[in-house]
Chain A
Amino acid sequence: QKEVEQNSGPLSVPEGAIASLNCTYSDRGSQSFFWYRQYSGKSPELIMFIYSNGDKEDGRFTAQLNKASQYVSLLIRDSQPSDSATYLCAAFSGGYNKLIFGAGTRLAVHP
């Protein structure tokens, strides 16, 4: 079992819709979680981080964490074609001092 799992997609949504990206993790000791966006041929860049159960909002982005279910999600409201990218979920494994990524979900926003 991979430590961080994501659906590889592609997830296709129309412009203006809500895109929902999901991630599960296996290490119950993980305490911090991150969402990165990666455009083709570029480096990953941080979008959101979340440490506590519940929702965290930043502009059009909302990260959700449920530690009991070991589940993290990212919602993108009013999706734009410029949001088309691969979204990577990451968890910091406190017991092992390492940051582990999932395989990423490719999002395509079509006009």
Chain B
Amino acid sequence: DAGITQSPRHKVTETGTPVTLRCHQTENHRYMYWYRQDPGHGLRLIHYSYGVKDTDKGEVSDGYSVSRSKTEDFLLTLESATSSQTSVYFCATGQGANTEAFFGQGTRLTVV
């Protein structure tokens, strides 16, 4: 397995507060992804990165921003958390285009 660490693993936060989730990888993979998983929706792509400082929006990017200043780290920020952002968030990495993704352990975020 690729060395992918997500932090925190669990978080409860209040509506309106900013939240940052971190994904750290030790595999030197070029691609990194943030997904959210909700019942009935599978994995929905929030944002992704295909290189340092190269990021793009996914299917459900509203209310989220990302940054990737170095290969190892991909940060997901909820600018002002809402209850609709309560979800399980997965980070994934891939070596390059058209390659498989390896997943982190997930972060369970609850917005109250």
Interface residues of A (CB under 8 A from B): 3, 6, 8, 31-32, 34, 43-46, 49, 51, 88, 90, 92, 94, 96-104
Whether B90 sits at the interface, judged by CB under 8 Å, is yes
Interface size on B, residues (CB 8 A): 27
Whether B58 sits at the interface, judged by CB under 8 Å, is yes
Residue of B nearest to A86 (CB): B42
Instruction: Name the prevailing secondary structure of the B interface residues.
Output: strand
Query: Are B42 and A88 neighbours in the complex by a CB distance under 8 Å?
Result: yes
| Contact A92:B98 (CB < 8 A) given known A98-B56, A99-B33 | yes
Residue of A nearest to B54 (CB): A97
User: What A residues does B42 contact at CB under 8 A?
Assistant: 6, 88, 101-104
Residue of B nearest to A101 (CB): B43
Closest approach, in angstroms, between the C-beta of B61 and any C-beta of chain A? 11
With the chains together, A6 CA to B105 CA distance in Å? Answer: 24
With the chains together, A32 CA to B42 CA distance in Å? Answer: 19
User: What B residues does A98 contact at CB under 8 A?
Assistant: 33, 45, 48, 56, 58
Partner of A32, one of B33, B59, B98, B105: B98
Query: Are B45 and A44 neighbours in the complex by a CB distance under 8 Å?
Result: no
Query: Are B100 and A34 neighbours in the complex by a CB distance under 8 Å?
Result: yes
Query: Are A97 and B97 neighbours in the complex by a CB distance under 8 Å?
Result: yes
- The list of the 8 closest CB pairs from A to B, nearest first, reads A103-B42, A101-B43, A32-B98, A43-B103, A104-B42, A97-B50, A92-B98, A46-B100
With the chains together, A88 CA to B106 CA distance in Å? Answer: 16
B63-112 residues at the A interface, CB under 8 angstroms: 90, 92, 94, 97-106
Closest approach, in angstroms, between the C-beta of B94 and any C-beta of chain A? 7
Between-chain CB contacts (< 8 Å), 15 pairs: A31-B98, A32-B98, A44-B90, A97-B48, A97-B97, A98-B48, A98-B56, A99-B33, A99-B101, A100-B45, A100-B59, A101-B43, A103-B40, A103-B42, A104-B43
